């Protein structure tokens, strides 16, 4: 059998304790002689840490692994100090090339049944190590967030530079402001993305994905927050603008409605007899186009012909739209204020503050004794669950939604007279939840 030996030492102190390269090589050769193995090559990494795989001799061994039947080390930690990396080398590098692994000191030998079983045990420890790393990272991020500091990372939020441990506004902030303004003006996320592609780039993107714009619109970092905590960085967007955008995003997600479209009531008008959506259809008569609303049940190919019948007769689209617009213009600001039900506020702030302090103490405890990660994580999870329950009990009025409706009502007349279809739909979407169509009446369900 062809044997490759791997030797590593990271510090002079290890050499003093008998881990020197020469001492390791001596033991390796003696072991091979006792087994009558052919030691083909010895790979040496002097002065390299075992916490990662970025070692020149180890990389050479990986590249030449096809030439060997066994990789031999004096001790398991000479190969790697990470269970995850050790398991990766054994299972994903050595084994696929028909190469076994032997560690002299631990009697770890994958040429035997017991050695194969040890791989399974090692796998369990590797999973534990990955879990602990995730918990440490999570705690570290939360600790920084509580201090109002961004957690750091490779991708810095568009509009900011990361210097001296915090965020600083840069020239890209103007693009962020433009995104929020265009969205408030009724431009779809896809159209905003196309516009940015044609006119702007950032250090990370040419605005190739609509998801990038959507994440910016929903990111509280732009109002000076880090998660749920007040950040130390300067905001790019004011809170009122951000709140309006969140309401619009939530409305579109919840109702499947979008302020862009060719028809004023698309997505919110329903048949009062069968409950199906009402659709807009058009016909031409003597080169003139006529548009109608009719029950969408007629267009369902999954129903039989009898089910296709509905009591609702087609209605002229222009007449229905004009009726809805007239009803909106009749509404008053006092209607919104008087009809909004404001639930009483239950003040749990003291209890929530106590929980925050307990969580902070646990994070501080981790900094002192990081070995109890799992137990600390369980306690933190329990406290956060309790905090979430208390916050749900604090029923507060949706001020952002109310402000959004008031703003829509104030500009409704001007918008319906001079605005685009997208701007008109924005007004309807803000004030109306549903329009139900009957043969002799129209029922409007208001958001307020």
Which residues are identified as catalytic? 10
Cα 272 vs. chain centroid, distance in angstroms?
40
Establish how many alpha carbons lie within 13 A of residue 51's alpha carbon, considering only the half-sphere containing its beta carbon. Answer: 2
Pairing status of strand 432-437 against strand 229-230: unpaired
- Interior angle at CA 362, CA 357 and CA 367, nearest 5: 125
What are the residues whose beta carbons fall under 8 Å from the beta carbon of 152, sequence distance 6 or more?
144, 162
Q: How many angstroms separate the CA atoms of 293 and 322, rounded?
A: 13
Q: How many angstroms separate the CA atoms of 312 and 211, rounded?
A: 40
> What is the end-to-end Cα distance of the chain in Å, rounded?
81
Which of these, 332, 335, 330, 315, lies nearest to 442 by C-alpha position? 315
Structure tokens at 97: 């090339």
Tallying the residues shown for the chain, one arrives at 448
For the residues of 278-309, what is the DSSP string, one character each?
EEEEEEEETTEEEEEEEEGGGG-TTS-TTTT-
Q: Across the strands, what pairs with 108?
A: 103
Classified as helix, coil or strand, 432 is strand
| DSSP 8-state symbol, 168 | E
Tokens 């169509």 identify what position?
437
């Amino acid at each position: 059998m062809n044997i490759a030996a791997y030797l590593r030492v990271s510090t002079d102190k290890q050499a003093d304790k008998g881990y020197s390269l020469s001492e390791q090589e001596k033991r390796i050769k003696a072991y091979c002689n006792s087994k009558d193995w052919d030691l083909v090559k010895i790979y040496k990494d002097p002065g390299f840490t075992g916490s990662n795989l970025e070692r020149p001799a180890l990389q050479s061994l990986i590249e030449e692994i096809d030439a060997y039947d066994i990789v031999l080390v004096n001790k398991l930690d000479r190969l790697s100090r990470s269970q995850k990396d050790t398991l990766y080398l054994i299972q994903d590098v050595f084994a696929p090339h028909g190469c076994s692994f032997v560690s002299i000191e631990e009697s770890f030998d994958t040429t035997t049944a017991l050695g194969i079983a040890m791989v399974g045990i090692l796998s369990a420890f590797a999973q534990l190590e990955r879990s602990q790393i995730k918990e440490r990272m999570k705690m570290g991020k939360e600790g920084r967030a509580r201090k109002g500091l961004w957690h750091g990372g490779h991708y810095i939020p568009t509009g900011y530079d990361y210097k001296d441990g915090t965020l600083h506004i840069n020239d890209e902030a103007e693009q962020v402001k433009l995104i929020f303004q265009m969205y408030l003006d009724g431009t779809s996320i896809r159209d905003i993305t196309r516009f940015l592609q044609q006119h702007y780039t950032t250090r990370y993107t040419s605005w190739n994905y609509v998801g990038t714009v959507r994440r910016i619109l929903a990111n509280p970092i732009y109002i000076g927050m880090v998660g749920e905590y007040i950040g130390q960085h300067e905001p790019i967007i004011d809170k009122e603008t951000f709140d309006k955008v969140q309401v619009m995003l939530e409305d579109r997600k919840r109702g499947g409605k979008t302020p862009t479209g060719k028809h004023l009531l698309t997505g919110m008008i329903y048949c009062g007899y069968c409950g199906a959506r009402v659709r807009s259809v058009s016909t031409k008569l003597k080169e003139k186009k006529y548009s109608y609303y009719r029950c969408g049940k007629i267009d369902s190919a999954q129903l039989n012909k009898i089910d296709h019948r509905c009591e609702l007769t087609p209605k002229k689209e222009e007449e229905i739209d004009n009726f809805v617009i007239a009803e909106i213009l009749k509404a008053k600001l006092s209607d919104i204020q008087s009809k909004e039900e404001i639930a009483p506020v239950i003040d749990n702030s003291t209890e929530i503050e106590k929980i925050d302090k307990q969580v902070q103490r646990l994070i501080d405890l981790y900094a002192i004794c990081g070995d109890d990660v799992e137990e600390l994580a369980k306690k933190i999870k329990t406290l956060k669950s309790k905090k979430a329950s208390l916050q749900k009990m604090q029923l507060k009025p949706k001020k952002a939604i109310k402000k959004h409706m008031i703003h829509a009502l104030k500009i409704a007349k001007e918008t319906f007279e001079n605005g685009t279809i997208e701007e008109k739909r924005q007004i309807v979407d803000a004030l109306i939840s549903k329009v139900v169509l009957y043969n002799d009446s129209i029922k409007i369900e208001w958001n307020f």
